Structure formats: C-alpha cells, structure tokens
Amino acid sequence: MNENKGFADNLPDVELREQRWPSPVWLIPLAALLIGFWLLFQAWYERGPTITVQFSSAEGIEPGKTEVRYKAVTVGKVKKLKLDNELKYIEAIIELNKEIGRHLGTNASFWVVRPRVNRSGVSGLGTLFSGSYIGMDPGTDNDDQSFYKGAERPPVIAPAEDGKRFFLISDSLGSMDVGAPVFYKQLQVGEVIDYELLDNQDRVQLELFIRAPYFQYVHDNTRFWNASGVELNMNSTGAEFRMESLISVLIGGIAFETPAGVAGGEVSKQGDTFVLHRNYADSQEKQYATRLYYVMYFDGSVRGMDVGSDVEFQGLPIGKVENIEMKMDKDSLDVRVPVLVYIQPQYFDESLTKETGEIAMRKLVEKGMRAKLDTVSFLTGQKVITLSMETDPPPASIKATQFYSEFPTTGTAFEELPFIAADIMISLDETLAGINKLVNSGKLDKTVDNLNKVLAEAEQAVKAAKETLKTVDKNTLPSVTNDVNKISQDLSNTMQKIQGSMGQLDRLTAQNSPTQHQLQEMLEEVTAASRALRSLTETLQRQPSALLRGK
C-alpha cells in the first residue's frame, strides 16, 4: 500500500506471540449455555406427576390458576379442565410438585375449598380473596395412581390429625350434621364426621372423631348424649338446667361423660360403638345396645300407655314400649292391640348378648315370667308394663310369629280400678242408708255395742283392704268388695279429700291457667329467637360478605 521505505525501515517488527486459545469472549455463550441447561434441567427435575381428579362441578376452579394446597402449602396447579365422556363430571388435570408426588398414595383425597356457610360454621373465608383452591391429603400408602375422585366437601378433620374414631347408634339423626361438635366437660374435643342409616336396624349410625389426647376419656362405660339445645328439667327436687355450649344450641352437638363410681371400663378402641342417648337425663339411665323385641297382647284397655312407656322388672326399667297399634282379623273381626316393646337383657346381666339374652328370656317365661299392665299413678292413669314371676301360672312360652315373638301376658284387676271406685261409692251410700235406718228404728241402743264391734272390724277391714289392694288380683277382688261394704265414714272423707285435690290439679292444668299461659309465652319467645337466627344464617348463606360489610 503505502511504500514509504526510508521511514518504515527503522520501525521495529511487531512482536509475535502464540495463542492457542480462542477468544475468551466465547466463555459468555458457554456460560449462557450452562445456565440454560441448568434452568431446563431444574424445570424438568422439579416436575411432579400429572394426575386427573374428577369433580362434579368446576365451580371456582380455573385452569392455570387454581392451586392445590396441602397444609396451606402450594403443591400443584390445575393445568386443564375437561368434561368426561358422559358429561357427568369434570376432570381437572393437575400438575403436582415432585416432593408431594413422592408421597402420593392411592387413598389420597382431593376437595375444593370455597367459601362455605353451613350449620357447622363459616369455612374457607380466606378463599373470598384468594379464590378457591383444591385441598389435598396425600394419603398414607405410597402407590400412586393418576386418577382420583374428588370429594365435594372438605373433610371435617384435618388430614393426619391424631385421634380415634367411634360409632354412635341413635334412633334418629336429630339436629346432628357433619361437623357437629363433640364435648367433654364442655370442651370441644371432636366432631361428627359422618353418618349413615343402618339399613337393617332402622337406626342411624354416627361416626365421631375424637382428638388426641381426649379419646382416652372414652371408656367402655362412657355415655354419649345429644347435647343439642337447652335441657330444662323440673321435678320434685327443683329445676335443673343444662346447656353444653352456645354452639351446640345452634347447630347441635354430642356430649359424653364417663360415670364416676362405676368400675371404670377399659379405654375404648378405635371403632367402638356406643348408644347415643336422647338427652342427659336419658343417658343417666342405663341403656344397652342389645334390644330384644317382643309383641304383647293385653286383654283390657291400654289407655295410659304411650310409646316410650317403661317396661319394668321389680320396679326397675329394663325396656321401653316401642309401638302400640291396632290390628283386626278380617275374618273373625277380632280386634287386638299388639304392643311392641323392647327389652334390654343386659339389665339382668351385662354379659348377655342378643342370642344368650333371648334364650334367658325364654327360660324365664317357662319359669313363670309374665307381662302385665301396671298403673304407676292413679291420678294420671299412666301405665307401665311389669314383668313379674307369677306363682303357679298357666303354662306359656314365647311364641315366635312372623315378625316379632309374642310375650305371654296376664290380666290385672287394676285395669278396672275406676269401676271399683264407683262400686265403693255406691256401697258406701247403701251403708250410710242402712245406718240411718238403724238409727231411726230405735234399735240403736241395742246395736251400739254391735256397731262398735262392726266399726272395729271395719277398721281392720280397711287396713286389710289396703294391704289386699296392693297385691290384689282378680280372684280375690269380690271378697274385698264385700268387706268394703261395711266401711265407716272415714273412707268417704278420704274420697272427698282426694276429689278436692283432683279439682286443684285440674285448675292447674286447665286451658287458661296461669301456668299454661306462661308456658305459652315462653314458647313464643323461643320461636321468635330461632326465627331471627334462621334469618341471620340465611343472609350469611346468600352473601357471606355481609359478615364484613353488613347487610
């Protein structure tokens, strides 16, 4: 190019060095490559399993947004939603984290958490702001699968919570719901987690979860009772008021107690079954799960006997009347009133089971046990069924029929007590008339001595009559009636007094009595209060935000 020789000749030569390495600038793409690979590897390594969960509604689930959380930690995300082949369910395709994927079991459960107001309270309020999410419980076993069925509501108990499950048998569900609290000494220690109708026994089985460490207070002899609402008992000893907690008044609840004094039972095992008593008072009575059902036919009127009336043995309740019906034989026009009762043989011996109990009852009947109607109170005419050992009864046995076995009965004079009383009144009148005649006839003086004798005899007779009345039966009654014929004025006075007190009782329970009125008023107030409560829960159900913003 430029050939300026003379000048250029004095210039030094350029220094030559060896450089085998390419320009260090290539380290930049190398680093980028490493970073890129690392990021991709990480993304691939962190990828957990993809599973499909079936829900009945996609409400609140948004693909790409809805998270899956376990113990409030995000462990996955819904990638896609699609309908299943029959358009019955939606299937959420969920990508889970690697770590939770490792612990996923076949018994894992999934549910949608959205704001919910129900009888057991308000749940998922946080999702009002954050949107719904899917809760999960990874389950216990470690075999994973790729298809799960989602639950419609969250489990009442948090996954992996420590506690025991028990079963309760009840006549009806009552106001119980899943989530209803279980109290021990007014402390909430558990919840009702499930219920089902026992198909063969016509009873309801509730499943309870009792948290650690409270489950150790459940013993074999522990009694559970329905603690819903307020219990007010008034009896001769005064008024007693029981209320488990305000929550239980609102949504129902179950309380339990292990009676002191009784030889404490074993700590119950998971899955043990108990009876759910109707109320606290009920729970204090002994009650056993085994029930033997019998049908009884009584000759006389069953007036004064209700469903729920006691079946007693020597004054102790051993069962209850379950049903009273009327049945007519279409051909013979023979109308009979079968009374269905149940007897709990464990009252006799706790070790009896259903089978051995039945055998024992059969043997007892062969030995002379009969059922009869007994009047508890002459005032109200309330009756119970008494099982008693008859001396020398006509032979009978428990007859098996189509549905229930028939228990032999024996008649009783007390069914006719009102008639006897009337008889006594008439006889008294006649006696008085006779005495009058005697006085008027002038034979009195002569007969005073006799009369004194008669009176003394009468007094004795009254005593005897009283004694006899307690144990009387049909056969001895006519003679009693004859004895009574000679009775003195004392008895008539007593009858009048009885009538007087009956009149007072009538007034107390009459239609417009103050007692009646006060009761009415109280009921109305309770109704008003419950109506206000219902409107509150309805408002909350419609717009849970009312909690925050007001109506």
Partner 1 sequence: MIKHKALLQCRVCGCLSHAPTQLKRFEVMHCPRCGARVKLAQQSTSVEVTWALLIAAAILYIPANLLPIMSVYMLGAGQPDTIITGVYHLLEAGQWPLALIVFVASIVVPLLKLFTLSFLLISIQRRSRWRQYDRMRLYRITEYVGRWSMVDVFVIAILTGLVQFGNLARVDANLGSLSFAAVVVLTMFAARTLDEHLIWDIAQQEEAQA
Which residue number, 14 or 400, has a Cβ lying nearer to partner 1?
14
25 binds partner 1 (CB under 8 A): yes
Q: Which of 41, 71, 104, 131 binds partner 1 (CB under 8 A)?
A: 131
Which amino acid makes up residue 225? W
Which residue number, 126 or 418, has a Cβ lying nearer to partner 1?
126
549 binds partner 1 (CB under 8 A): no
Dihedral over Cα of 386, 389, 394, 397: its sign: positive
Q: Is 87 exposed, middle or buried (0-12, 13-18, 19+ CB in 10 A)?
A: exposed
Q: Which residue has the tokens 């896609």?
A: 80
Q: Which of 6, 45, 85, 129 binds partner 1 (CB under 8 A)?
A: 129
72 binds partner 1 (CB under 8 A): no
Alpha helices in 318-414 (DSSP H): 354-367
Q: Which of 6, 23, 315, 440 binds partner 1 (CB under 8 A)?
A: 23
* Preceding omega of 213 cis (within 30 degrees of 0): yes
**Closest approach of Cβ 13 to partner 1, in Å?**
5
Which residue number, 96 or 384, has a Cβ lying nearer to partner 1?
96
Q: How far apart are the first and last CA of the chain?
A: 94
Residues 6+ apart with CB under 8 A from 149: 53, 54
**Closest approach of Cβ 6 to partner 1, in Å?**
13
Using the contact rule CB under 8 A, the part of the chain among 12-20, 189-197, 210-218, 532-540 near partner 1 is 12-20
71 binds partner 1 (CB under 8 A): no
Other CB atoms within a 10 A radius of the CB of residue 113 amount to: 19
Largest CA distance in the chain: 193
**Closest approach of Cβ 96 to partner 1, in Å?**
16
Q: Which of 6, 28, 260, 351 binds partner 1 (CB under 8 A)?
A: 28
**Closest approach of Cβ 138 to partner 1, in Å?**
22
Which amino acid makes up residue 467? E
106 binds partner 1 (CB under 8 A): no
Cα(181)–Cα(248) distance, integer angstroms: 7
SS3 252: coil
Which residue number, 26 or 378, has a Cβ lying nearer to partner 1?
26
DSSP state of 125: T
Q: Are 144 and 48 in contact (CB under 8 A)?
A: no
18 binds partner 1 (CB under 8 A): yes
Q: Are 213 and 228 in contact (CB under 8 A)?
A: no
Q: Which of 47, 59, 65, 534 binds partner 1 (CB under 8 A)?
A: 65
Q: Are 289 and 275 in contact (CB under 8 A)?
A: yes
Number of residues that bind partner 1 (CB under 8 A): 35
Using the contact rule CB under 8 A, the part of the chain among 27-35, 106-114, 252-260, 366-374 near partner 1 is 27-35
Q: Which of 80, 106, 107, 126 binds partner 1 (CB under 8 A)?
A: 126
Q: Which of 106, 107, 130, 356 binds partner 1 (CB under 8 A)?
A: 130
Which residue number, 21 or 147, has a Cβ lying nearer to partner 1?
21
Radius of gyration of the chain (CA): 42
Which residue number, 17 or 470, has a Cβ lying nearer to partner 1?
17
Binding letters toward partner 1, positions 29-48, x by CB under 8 A:
x-xxx-xx--xx--x-----
Q: Are 300 and 409 in contact (CB under 8 A)?
A: no
Cα(294)–Cα(151) distance, integer angstroms: 43
Using the contact rule CB under 8 A, the part of the chain among 21-29, 156-164, 273-281, 442-450 near partner 1 is 21-29
16 binds partner 1 (CB under 8 A): yes
SS3 135: strand
Which residue number, 123 or 388, has a Cβ lying nearer to partner 1?
123
Other CB atoms within a 10 A radius of the CB of residue 269 amount to: 11
Which residue number, 9 or 199, has a Cβ lying nearer to partner 1?
9
- Angle of helix 444-471 versus helix 477-485 axis, rounded to 10: 150
Using the contact rule CB under 8 A, the part of the chain among 10-18, 314-322, 328-336, 374-382 near partner 1 is 10-18
User: Could you give the angle at the alpha carbon of 425 between the alpha carbons of 420 and 426, nearest 5°?
Assistant: 95
**Sites of contact with partner 1 (CB under 8 A):** 1-2, 8, 11-20, 22-23, 25-26, 28-29, 31-33, 35-36, 39-40, 43, 64-65, 67, 77, 126, 129-131
